[in-house]
């Protein structure tokens, strides 16, 4: 038993999970089950005391949010959708628990896991091109249908995995500070950006453009010792969410109707601006109905419509407004979606779950998580990433990898130093 439950076996299983992240859900699911089964055996074998669990506050916040999904079934009429959410959000319980009770990893092991993720993500490109190029050679076009068929999963989520891989490779080469390493990172970035355009991953493109700006600001404040400003900046997402919700509550929807600019080529993935306009236009109706459903009375405002009734409530709003073409769509904003499901209570809890690790990471000098959270925030503001299996897999596994990094500090010359 001692041979089975050791750090090497844990690292191997964790590496399998990380390698499988950019690929099909079933592959990743099998790897995750193996890792969690090993973690359970390790937990039962060593029986660590509660005081020895790592990151207990972080764990309890995620468990509290998952408990809200279970409690929300009490005022739901659609138990099938409610149980679906309990299944999808199971990683809220499992991932923090795994990190809490499993063996600690050292920094080089985290780096190796990141390299595994970067390489695995890179090999999704030939996989995608293998489906796209034959179609292009025959029909001389690349449309969203063939992109969807040629990627391991939804193109928007795939884009976020590419974005994360790009961020990771810059972090890794920053540790080495070699010219050749920077050239490698620059080349990977060019390939990644072209891939994002091919995938039409709009949110990932926006996040990629914001990351260098965020990196410059965070490094400047960290080097100058302005940590209090970093703490204040962690509250920016809350103000943006509140501002967004207020703006949608004031939006005049009387002239909103189905309409697509004829100049937008929805068959071509290269019409990026057209897709951006098209997607934003449709989201206006989804956001409006999300706010309308959430604020229809005091009960829904405080407690929401229930874990399983969000889709039904939104469809009723779409029909009432004459927007039948939106039926079946979510709010395409995770914060608003949570407000619809669980009201103000759920919204505040989600914001706490989102902001707590950012603040803790800044306190430890781990600014990498704060940078990754820029991508998280963009994703949550324009889509329901935490209501989808692949989205929550990305958020929990990638977020926890950055969050569990050993402490680092920047000296006055901007050089990273371990503490």
| 186 to 122, 123, 124, 263: CA distances (angstroms) | 14, 18, 19, 34
Which pLDDT does position 199 carry in this prediction? Answer: 86
**Cα separation of 129 and 377, whole Å?**
29
CB of 339 within 8 A of CB of 294? yes
Which pLDDT does position 412 carry in this prediction? Answer: 46
Q: Which two tokens stand for residue 389?
A: 């299996």
Which pLDDT does position 265 carry in this prediction? Answer: 47
**Cα separation of 335 and 389, whole Å?**
17
**Cα separation of 228 and 242, whole Å?**
22
Q: Return the number of other C-beta atoms located less than 10 Å from residue 115's C-beta.
A: 15
Q: Which two tokens stand for residue 356?
A: 């707590």
- What are the two backbone dihedrals, phi and then psi, of residue 181, each rounded to the nearest 5 degrees? -65, -40
- What are the two backbone dihedrals, phi and then psi, of residue 416, each rounded to the nearest 5 degrees? -70, 135
CB of 49 within 8 A of CB of 29? no
Q: Which of 186, 192, 218 is nearest to 205 (CA)?
A: 192
Q: Which of 177, 210, 105 is nearest to 416 (CA)?
A: 177
304 — alpha (psi -120 to 50), left (phi > 0) or beta?
left
Q: Write down the pTM of the prediction.
A: 0.91
- What are the two backbone dihedrals, phi and then psi, of residue 409, each rounded to the nearest 5 degrees? -135, 155
Question: For every one of its 419 residues, what pLDDT tens digit does the chain have, with 9 covering 90 and above?
Answer: 666 778 899 999 999 999 999 998 889 999 999 999 999 999 998 899 999 999 999 999 999 999 999 999 999 999 999 999 999 999 999 999 999 999 999 999 999 999 999 999 999 999 998 888 887 777 666 766 677 778 888 888 999 999 999 999 999 988 777 667 888 899 999 999 999 988 888 889 999 999 999 888 887 777 667 777 777 888 889 999 999 999 999 988 888 876 554 444 444 455 555 556 667 888 889 999 999 999 999 999 999 999 999 999 999 999 999 888 889 899 999 999 999 999 999 999 999 999 999 999 988 888 899 999 999 999 999 999 999 888 999 999 999 999 999 866 555 444 445 44
Which pLDDT does position 138 carry in this prediction? Answer: 73
328 — alpha (psi -120 to 50), left (phi > 0) or beta?
left
Query: What is the tally of helices (H) and strands (E) in the chain?
Result: 19, 2
Q: Which two tokens stand for residue 30?
A: 């099998």
Q: Which residues pair with 410 in a beta bridge?
A: 416
- What are the two backbone dihedrals, phi and then psi, of residue 191, each rounded to the nearest 5 degrees? -60, -45
């Amino acid at each position: 038993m001692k041979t089975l439950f050791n750090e090497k076996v844990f690292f191997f299983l964790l590496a399998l999970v990380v390698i499988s992240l950019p690929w099909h859900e079933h592959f990743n699911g099998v790897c995750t089950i193996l890792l969690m089964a090993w973690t359970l055996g390790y937990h039962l074998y060593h029986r660590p005391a509660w005081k020895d669990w790592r990151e207990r506050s972080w764990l309890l916040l995620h468990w509290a949010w998952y408990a809200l999904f279970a409690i929300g079934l009490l005022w739901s009429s659609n138990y099938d959708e409610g149980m679906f959410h309990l299944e999808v959000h199971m990683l809220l319980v499992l991932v923090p628990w795994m990190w809490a009770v499993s063996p600690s990893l050292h920094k080089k092991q985290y780096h190796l896991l990141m390299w595994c993720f970067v390489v695995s993500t890179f090999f999704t490109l030939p996989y995608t091109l293998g489906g796209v190029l034959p179609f292009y050679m025959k029909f001389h076009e690349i449309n969203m249908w063939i992109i969807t068929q040629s990627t391991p999963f939804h193109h928007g989520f795939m884009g976020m995995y590419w974005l994360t891989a790009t961020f990771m490779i810059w972090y890794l080469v920053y540790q080495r500070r070699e010219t050749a390493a920077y050239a490698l990172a620059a080349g990977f970035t060019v390939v990644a950006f072209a891939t994002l355009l091919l995938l039409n991953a709009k949110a990932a493109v926006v996040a990629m453009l914001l990351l260098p700006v965020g990196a410059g600001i965070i490094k400047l404040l960290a080097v100058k010792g302005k940590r209090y400003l970093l703490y204040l900046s962690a509250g920016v997402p809350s103000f943006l969410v509140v501002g967004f919700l207020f703006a949608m509550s004031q939006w005049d929807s009387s002239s909103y109707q189905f309409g697509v600019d004829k100049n937008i080529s929805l068959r071509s993935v290269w019409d990026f601006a057209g897709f951006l306009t098209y997607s934003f236009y449709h989201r206006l109706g989804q956001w409006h109905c999300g706010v309308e459903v959430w604020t229809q009375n005091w009960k829904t405002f405080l407690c929401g419509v229930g874990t399983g009734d969000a889709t039904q409530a939104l469809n009723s709003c779409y029909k009432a407004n004459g927007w039948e073409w939106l039926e079946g769509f979510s709010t395409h904003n995770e914060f608003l979606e949570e407000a619809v499901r669980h009201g103000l209570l759920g919204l505040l809890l989600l914001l706490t779950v989102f902001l707590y690790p950012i603040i803790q990471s800044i306190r430890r000098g781990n600014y990498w998580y704060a940078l990754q959270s820029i991508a998280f925030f963009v994703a949550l503001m324009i889509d329901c990433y935490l209501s989808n299996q692949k989205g929550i897999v990305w958020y929990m596994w990638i977020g926890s990898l950055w969050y569990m990094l050993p402490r680092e500090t920047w000296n006055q010359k901007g050089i990273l130093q371990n503490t």
